[in-house]
Structure formats: C-alpha cells, structure tokens
Amino acid sequence: MSRIAYVNGQYLPHDHAEIHIDDRGYQFGDGIYEVVSIMNGHLADQEWHLDRMEYSLSELNIPMPMTRAAMKIVIGNLIRMNKITNGLIYFQITRGVMRRDHAFNAMLKPQLVMTAKTLPRLSKQMIDPVKVITVPDQRWQRRDIKTLQLLPNCMAKTKAMEKGAYEALMVDHDGLITEGSSSNAWIVTHEGELITRPATYDILSGITRKAILDIAAKRNLKIVERGFSVEEAQNAAEVFVSSATSLVTPVYMVDDVKIGNGDTGPVALALRQAYFDHVRALAAE
Ligand SMILES: Cc1ncc(COP(=O)(O)O)c(C=O)c1O
C-alpha cells in the first residue's frame, strides 16, 4: 500500500506530494511543525500538541491554515488511509508562498502538509538504555517555538549517530544542559528528586515532558524544575530523555561516563509504564 500525504486540501500518494519552490518553509525554515505519536491506535495528547501548534503559530504571526476541528478530521483521515496502529503523524505549517524576500507579506496563505508513518510498536516494559553525548547549544533564543529551523539540532543528532549515541544533549553558555536535539532531558538525584529544566524560552516545552510532570506529581515524586550540568547528570542516580517518539528513554552513558551501574532506573521505567497508561486513559475519555 502506498503512503498517502495531505497537502493543502488534497490527499496524494506520498511520492507525488509536492510544495512550491517559493514556499517560505523551504527557503527560510519559516514555519512550524508537530509530531504526534499513535500508540495502539490512540493519538497521544493530541489536544496538547494542537495547543502548542497554535502557540508556535501565534508567536510567529502565522494564521491557522484551517480550524482546529478541521485539522483533527484531516489527522483522523490520514491515520485511516494509511492504516496506522502504531506510528506518528507529522504536520508542518509554513507562512506561505511568495517571491523570495526576507521580509514577509502578512497576507500570505499558510501551507499545510501532513504525513503519517507506521513505526514498530513501542514496548511499555522493555527498553534498552541508550548512550548520549553532549554538544554546545548553537540555537537561537526562542527554542520554545517549534520551528522548522532545525539545523543545529540536525548537526547535533548526526554527531551523536557518528559516535554511536542515540541523542546529543545540548549545553548552554553556563555549562547547563538545555535539552536533547529532539527530546527533553531529565535526571533523578540520589535523593529521589526528579529534575528537568524549566520551560522558558530556552527549551521546547515538550508534550511528553508535560505529561510526565503530571504523572510524577500524581505519584508524589519530588519535582524540581531547574537546570543541571553535564557533571551533575553524570553523577545522577538516573538520566533519561523524553519525546513523542522516545516516550521515556533511559540513558546509561553521558559522554563516556556510565550512569550508576548502567541499568534502566526504577523511576524512568515507572514513568514510561505510566505514560502508556496515560495515553490509554485519554483514549477512553
Ligand atoms: C528540541 C526538542 N525538545 C524537546 C522535544 C520533545 O517534545 P515532545 O515531547 O513534544 O515530542 C522535541 C521533540 O521533537 C524537540 O525537538
């Protein structure tokens, strides 16, 4: 079965889904995106992803391409047409198409592209811990907006892959970890505190991060939103990363320093399992 993509009102075979060469997303990265995972046929936190999409658009003065309700219909159609049970929906909205010029015309029609793909079913119980490296954070100062401009993230992730690591954690001028190239970063201290950087302009406010914070609060875990250094991470009881595609993924090594005995920690495992239950509960609402 060939994959079907959505491009500005049309459902097209994925290989023939095209956009104009004057699209500002293509030329300037002038647009935003979202990734929503589909777990056992359920969309994970769709409403929060749509909230963040609206936030990113409004921070960049890009209008919504269609109503939120219409977008949900397109998302549902793509899941059905591509017969996805486990996988993800990707959508991006760019400012529009115009003759190349840095300054944009405020009247452009936003362009919406949506794709869907199947991924192997993620396991609730079993997850091999991963290795991460650290790199300087070279991004702009509005990392809270989920823009298409991902070159520093792409460079960082490629460096991680070259070093046989799963993710690159980015480090700011003060030596504190901001987040992963496509994930949020967490540590658990030896006192059992769950630490993650506060959601300011410095990081993307991850939807998985938000769900984990809710779950952790319900479990009465002590949560502290603050920055932490590479050294603190290397000496922590647990380190893990979170994202729509990684969910909660434990880390066993940060820059060649092993975390604890290298096994998946109990907090990361419990949060991963609880995240699955959270998505299932949402679907039942
Ligand atoms: C830079 C960055 N931080 C964090 C995340 C995690 O966000 P979410 O949990 O919404 O997938 C992502 C996801 O792509 C990301 O690109």
CATH 3.30.470.10-classified regions of the chain: 4-118
Amino acid at 66: M
Among candidate residues 72, 83, 109, 146, the one labeled active-site is 146
Active site residue 146: yes
Sign of CA dihedral 196, 201, 206, 211: positive
Query: How far is Cα 197 from Cα 143, in angstroms, rounded to an integer?
Result: 13
Q: What is the pLDDT of residues 104-136, one digit of tens each?
A: 999 999 999 999 999 988 777 668 899 999 999
| CATH 3.20.10.10 intervals, the chain | 130-284
* Rounded mean pLDDT, 68-85: 97
Q: Which residues pair with 170 in a beta bridge?
A: 135
pLDDT more than 90, % of the chain = 94
Q: Does the pLDDT value for residue 266 go beyond 90?
A: yes
Ligand 1 center to 204 CA (angstroms): 6
Output the CA 241–ligand 1 centroid distance in Å. Answer: 10
Alpha-carbon distance of 28 to 100, in angstroms, equals 9
pLDDT tens by residue, 202-221: 999 999 999 999 999 999 99
Average pLDDT of the chain to the nearest whole number: 96
Mean pLDDT of 60-76: 97
Pocket (CB within 6 angstroms of ligand 1): 35, 153, 179, 182-184, 204, 206-209, 242-244
What integer is the mean pLDDT of 236-264? 96
Specify the ligand 1 atom closest to the Cα of 208. 9
In this model, does residue 285 exceed pLDDT 80?
A: no
Q: How confident is the model at residue 1 (pLDDT cuts 50, 70, 90)?
A: low
pTM: 0.96
Nearest-angstrom CA–CA distance, 96 and 93: 8
Tell me the pLDDT band of 281, cut-offs 50, 70 and 90: confident
Among 182, 210, 214, 245, name the best residue to mutate to test ligand 1's pocket (greatest count of ligand atoms within 8 A of Cβ).
182
CATH 3.30.1490.100 corresponds to the domain 4-118: no
Q: How far is the CA of 99 from the centre of ligand 1 (A)?
A: 32
Q: Which atom of ligand 1 is nearest to the CA of 204?
A: 3
What is the pLDDT averaged over residues 53-69? 98
Give the rounded percent of residues in the chain with a pLDDT score beyond 70. Answer: 99
Is 2's pLDDT higher than 90? Answer: no
Ligand 1 centroid to Cα of residue 141, in Å, is 16
| Strand pairing category for 4-7 and 10-13 | antiparallel
CATH, domain 130-284, list 3.20.10.10, 3.40.50.1980, 3.20.20.140, 3.40.50.1820: 3.20.10.10
Q: Can you tell me the distance from the alpha carbon of 209 to that of 216, in angstroms, rounded to the nearest whole number?
A: 10
Nearest CA owner, ligand 1 atom 4:
183
pLDDT of residue 122: 78
